[in-house]
Amino acid sequence: MLSEVSGQLYVDSNPVAISGNFNAGSLSDFNFGGNEIEGFNASIVNSTSTTYTLSSSDAGKLIAVEHASLITVSIPTGLDVGFNCSFLQKGSGSIEFSASNGLTLSNRQSYTKTAGQYAMATLIAYETNKFVLTGDLF
């Protein structure tokens, strides 16, 4: 339950003061009339190349790669803190993640490749040029 909200709300660039108690109800009460919630629908980028270099425009996307050979995903320096994207290995070729010089790529078990067809991975920048890679990896 949402309560004790105060602050400023902007409507058409004009500030509107708000304060008081509000009840958002149960999450099951929301009805969006079949419409998606803005910002929660991942764009899918399909790739059939054996190389893919990430860019800031890939933030929040699902990169689906399909190839019979190994696919190398290069992670450049300079992506914003909070950058994140997911990967799907659609074909038999594993996805290998390669960090540029000056970039730290961490994984709990030091894995850098997807484990097999339909494996998923997620990459997140948690500090400047520091990334964590997680998912179905080896």
Query: Over its length of 138 residues, how does the chain's per-residue pLDDT go in tens digits?
Result: 444 555 566 777 777 766 666 555 555 555 666 665 666 677 999 999 999 999 999 999 999 999 999 999 999 999 999 999 999 999 999 999 999 999 999 999 999 999 999 999 999 999 999 999 999 999
Q: What is the pLDDT of residue 2?
A: 46
How far apart CA 73 and CA 79 sit, in angstroms, is: 14
Q: What is the pLDDT of residue 39?
A: 61
How far apart CA 47 and CA 89 sit, in angstroms, is: 10
Q: What is the pLDDT of residue 36?
A: 59
Q: What is the pLDDT of residue 25?
A: 56
Other CB atoms within a 10 A radius of the CB of residue 82 amount to: 11
- Domain 44-135 part of CATH 2.60.120: yes
Lookup result for tokens 């990459």 = 123
How far apart CA 113 and CA 64 sit, in angstroms, is: 14
Q: What is the pLDDT of residue 133?
A: 98
User: Vertex 39, ends 59 and 88: CA angle to 5°?
Assistant: 50
Q: What is the pLDDT of residue 69?
A: 98
